[in-house]
Every structure is written in C-alpha cells, then in structure tokens.
Amino acid sequence: MIKKEAVVLKAEIATKNEMIDFLIVLHEQAGNITDRDVFKDGILKREAEGPTAITDGICIPHSKNSAVIHAGITAVTVPSGVDCGALDGQAVKPVFYDSGAGGGSGYPSGSIVQIIHDSDR
C-alpha cells in the first residue's frame, strides 16, 4: 500500500498548494494515478469543503477520485511546517495522502488514523 518512492522526509515545501502538487507527483511516481489534473481537481474540491488538517500538525488530504488506479498512501514530512488551515492553528509537519482505488469513500483509511493514534502513545 505504501511504496518507498511515495515517502519523502524533510521536504522543503512552503505552501499548501506546493504540498498538494508534491503529493500528486509522489502518487504519479508510485503508479497510483492515471491523470494528474483529474486527481488534483478532486483534492481541491475536497479541500474547498473544509481543511483536511487535523490537530497536532497533521494533514490528511483525501478525496473521491476517478484518477486513482491503485490504492496507496504518500507520506511527507516538512520540518518547517505548512499552513493548511488546521482548526488548532498549528502548521502541518507530517502529511499523508490516502488514495482509494475507484474513488473510494473519500475518507482517510483506518490504517492512517491508526498509525496516528498509535504514535500518540
């Protein structure tokens, strides 16, 4: 579900839009998507509904998306942080994008939520 080419540590990303573009490239390199523009459109539509940044500086952008051909997760860390509009106001440092094949539910998978939950222990 997660491939080494879909993980980047210590990325230099300054804005939310740069972060989204970066995640799209990772999914493309991992062979998870067919159409970069359709994929991005789905992400931006979901982001327009409200922030996908959760508390404690974590962001999990997600969407229903027909461009996804293989379910997968991308993971990026941004030491300087990125403002993703989190409700608690914290800059995002780890970012995950969960792509469900065939459009999926549009919600982050239980696996990401469990990883985050376990890391809080």
Structure token pair of residue 21: 């573009």
Is 117 assigned a catalytic role? no
Written as one letter, the residue type at 30 is A
Give CA–CA dist 89/53, Å, rounded.
9
| From 27, 62, 70, 117, active-site residue | 62
Give CA–CA dist 61/74, Å, rounded.
10
Catalytic residue list: 62
